[in-house]
Structure 1
Amino acid sequence: MLRRAFIAATLLSLLAACGFQLRGAQTLPFGNIYLAMNQYEDFTAALKRAIESTGNAHVVSKAEEADAILQLVANDKEKHILSLNSSGSVREYQLRQRFAYRVVDRKGLELAPYSEIYVYRDVSFSEGLELAKAQEDSLLYADMQNDVLQQLLRRLSRVHPK
């Protein structure tokens, strides 16, 4: 019993000594941000919620009020065929999302240069299950959107206002 406690304490101290820590909430280096993108898309609403949940930044409705402006360059989704079976039907495909953006201040000075976030998922395809695969695609796109949001917040937290 004493030996198990000693081993557990040793492992915990080694884990703490290696610098491991859970990824916490991102804090953004600016107080107000304007999202220069379609305000009625699901992605924009999810991004607003994610930014507001940081606690230190707020999404404003006018660019003149913002410390930073997130400019959407592209948010493309596509389906790419990976392989075909012997009869020429699709066997595997890949869902891709590319999110391109840049961050400027209200004067137009660049805070973060043009950047892109790529996410993708490989999917197998079975004939006769088209409806189920369509639902799977929509779930995968939602997961990919969440992945893009998390990566974007991490990148925005590293922006240094001038």
Structure 2
Amino acid sequence: MIKRNLLVMGLAVLLSACGFQLRGTGTYEMAIKEIDLSARNSYGETVTLMRQVMENSGINVHSGAPYKLVLADEKETQRILSYAGAGRTGEYELNTVLDYVILGRNDLLLVSDKIETQRVFIHDGNNLVGSDQEAADARRDTRREMVQRMMIRMQQLTPSQLDQLQETAEARAKAEAAALEAAQKAEAETPRQSPVEIPQQ
């Protein structure tokens, strides 16, 4: 008994040492130290969990940050994978897509991408309460996975990369504004044809 307990404790120490997190999101070493965070659903569970993980990872999440992560849209669909006996549904696949953008100064678009996750859960027509709990667990696990994957993507960004993306976005915006101004000027300088007068009979 003592040997088994020591073995379990030893495995737990080894797993924690290699960064394993049991059903959680853990913390992340981030080059970005501050960011603004918003979502279409300001009080949604995904953005709430995202803010918590970011703050636990040492990121200062506040509205005055130079860059903003916006969780633009989160769509959930589900489909039947298989049927059990008597026509009851056996398995559902839960598919969730999270669209997000990163905005820079003057709300210029720097990054636009999405994260997609899938989960399969069992639906038992004879146990609706248990099936509802299965679905809730699948949604919770989906949110955790999306946050984990988002944090991994954020880890790959550095302030210098964001600054470079900002410069590119500013140059693009400036070029588009110049092209629009030139088009408007050309239109204004083009003489307008007078309406044709029809001689009176």
Report the TM range for the smaller structure's normalisation: 0.7 to 0.9
Unaligned runs of 5+ in 2: 1-17, 21-25, 164-201
TM-score of the aligned structures, taking structure 2 as reference length: 0.61
User: Which structure 2 residues correspond to residues 1-150 of structure 1 after superposition, within 5 A?
Assistant: 22=19, 25-37=27-39, 38-55=41-58, 57-60=59-62, 62=63, 65-85=64-84, 87-112=86-111, 114-150=112-148
Q: Distance in 2 between matches of 1:91 and 1:40?
A: 33
Displacement of 1:86? 6.7
- 1:161 aligned partner, one-letter code: L
- Percent identity between the aligned chains? 21
Aligned 8 A contact 2:122 2:134 in 1: no
Displacement of 1:135? 0.8
Q: Distance in 1 between matches of 2:88 and 2:68?
A: 45
Deviations along 1:76-101, whole A, 9 cap, x unmatched? Answer: 12221112357543222111211110
Secondary structure in 2 matching 1:67 = coil
Secondary structure in 2 matching 1:161 = helix
- Please state which structure has a larger fraction of its residues in helix: 2
Displacement of 1:107? 2.2
Deviations along 1:103-140, whole A, 9 cap, x unmatched? Answer: 1112233332x211111111232221111010111112
Aligned 8 A contact 1:66 1:106 in 2: no
TM-score of the aligned structures, taking structure 1 as reference length: 0.74
